[in-house]
Amino acid sequence: MAIINYGIGNLPSLERSFLRAGATPVITDKPEVIAASERILLPGVGNFGACMNSFEASGLRPCVEAHIAAKKPLLGICVGMQMMFERSEEGDVAGLRWIKGRVQGFPTEYNAQRLHVPHVGMTSIKTANTILFEGMPENPRFYFTHSYRVLGTRSEDTIATCDYGGQFTAAVQYGKIYGTQFHPEKSHAGGIALLKNFAERG
């Protein structure tokens, strides 16, 4: 299990969470380690453009895309998930374009009421019957903290949705590419269960 270090993300927290899930993670910026890993994690926090720039500057994109081409599992978290899509309006920046969809900011009002942005806190989601959510209760709760969300995903790629300022994509799966807008490493037992599912069954 390789946690990609491209200068972005709370990597020690992710490492501790995977250890609690029974995995053996390694934080790395070495292409040869990523190439040898069966599963990899793409973190991301903060500004979309800064994450994309840092990832491209790291030189790791080719080995990550080779991992995907080999049909080996990858999990993107928060902005790490958003980067997988076509474009973000946060700075009008192109994404990695691995999955169809776009990233847009939350509205400041919804249903004639002011909407608090960013969306922060434990929130229920609606899930599909997929590997990531195996063994979980109906409408599990996960921790979100974000001002932008993913819209326009295909129904077959969407494995979870959340309702805040309207419905948005909370988790995706495209082949062996997985993504969560929420932070499993901050979501208590449910988050550890998700990471365990990815590490063992993804």
Residue 67 among the catalytic residues:
no
pTM for this predicted structure: 0.96
Specify whether the backbone of 165 is left (phi greater than 0), alpha (psi in -120 to 50) or beta: left
Enter the CATH code of domain 2-201: 3.40.50.880
Domain ranges of the chain: 2-201
Whether the predicted pLDDT of 11 surpasses 90: yes
Cα radius of gyration rounded to whole Å, the chain: 16
pLDDT in tens, 49-79: 999 999 999 999 999 999 999 999 999 999 9
Distance in angstroms (rounded) separating the CA atoms of residues 63 and 91: 26
pLDDT band at 202 (very low <50, low <70, confident <90, very high): confident
Per-residue three-class SS string for the chain:
CEEECCCCCCHHHHHHHHHHCCCCCEEECCHHHHHHCCCEEECCCCCHHHHHHHHHHHCCHHHHHHHHHCCCCEEEECHHHHCCCCEECCCCEECCCCCCCEEEECCCEECCEECCCCEEEEEECEECCCHHHCCCCCCCEEEEEECEEEECCCHHHEEEEEECCCEEEEEEEECCEEEECCEHHHCHHHHHHHHHHHHHHC
Instruction: Output the six-digit token pair for 102.
Output: 């776009």
pLDDT of residue 64: 98
Of 78, 90, 146, 162, which one is the catalytic site residue?
A: 78
pLDDT in tens, 87-136: 999 999 999 999 999 999 999 999 999 999 999 999 999 999 999 999 99
Sign of torsion over alpha carbons 26, 31, 37, 43: positive
pLDDT of residue 9: 79
Residue 63 among the catalytic residues:
no
Distance in angstroms (rounded) separating the CA atoms of residues 98 and 132: 19
Residue 183 among the catalytic residues:
yes
* % of the chain beyond a pLDDT of 90: 96
